[in-house]
Amino acid sequence: MNTAHKGTAPDRRRSAERLRHHYDVERALADRLRSASSRPERARIYETMYDTLFAEVPDHPRLVLRETPDEVARRNHRKLRLLAPFLTPGSRVLEIGAGDCSFGVELAPRVRFVCGVEISAQGARLDNAPRNFALVLYDGFEFPFAARSFDLAFSDQLLEHLHPDDAELHFRAVACALVPGGTYLLRTPHRFTGPHDVSRYFTRGDAEGFHLKEWTYRELHTALRACGYPRVTAIWSARGVSAQLPIRWVCALETVLGVLPRALRRSLSRLPLPGIVVAARTPR
């Protein structure tokens, strides 16, 4: 039986057999999605893939692990620090992939309005939601609100779950939802330090689970420019500290690291490329 590669920390909460089962189930579902040739077919798979995964893998960490209130507070604080340079009291914010909505609820008192969008309300905690927060369900493709409705859009660990053929539609839909000069701030894992899904225990190659594509800055910059974002800024962010950088600097670093053997590239990329964070602005 294949086990975790040497140098990859095992998931000590589960046996090797259960971890392998999780990997096999997730990879099979992801392969179905990757091979789906049409958007309607992918939409049908999106609707049920997580329900199927959780039914087949009842010991999945998302089902059995719960963040403590302190952990949630720390996570939300880090996000607030990341968004702070882009916020004003009058900001209208779109959070794509709102999850349990705890961050949107935390953000709402600081801005004019927050709209969280999700494909399912399962897990949303709205008991104490302020009046200027709303959760809207959507199909994962088209946003159900008027163009130019938001000043800032934000997604965290979302892009890697999209089929590569759907990324362009996503970027264009967000651009349409933003006002002229609005910003899409997104965070996603960097491919050089991956894979970052369950396949990290079983392969040294690209992600094979629900991370359908892990990106580089250069790939993301090219895609965003083609989808109506003329200005893209890289943001180095780790442990609550962030700094804006010209994206050409980061792309040049990727060029240097990209020629190295995979294992060495992965090791050397962890500090300078802890993940991808970009601020992409629409034309004024």
Q: Give Cβ neighbours of residue 152 (< 8 Å, ≥ 6 apart).
A: 83, 86, 87, 91, 92, 93, 94, 178, 182, 183, 184, 185
| pTM of structure | 0.92
Check whether domain 69-281 has CATH 3.40.50.1240, yes or no: no
Q: How far is CA 53 from the centre of its chain?
A: 19
For residue 231, the model assigns a pLDDT of 97
| pLDDT range class, residue 260, cuts 50, 70, 90 | very high
Residue 152's beta-bridge partner residues?
93, 183
**φ and ψ of 87, to 5 deg:** -110, 145
Q: Return the structure tokens found at 272.
A: 């300078």
Q: Report d(CA 150, CA 174) in Å as an integer.
A: 9
Average pLDDT over all residues of the chain: 91
pLDDT tens column, 186-211:
999 999 999 999 999 999 889 999 99
Give the residue among 29, 168, 28, 49 at the shortest CA–CA distance from 120.
49
pLDDT tens column, 41-70:
998 888 888 889 999 999 998 888 888 889
pLDDT tens column, 131-178:
999 999 888 888 999 999 999 999 999 999 999 999 999 999 999 999
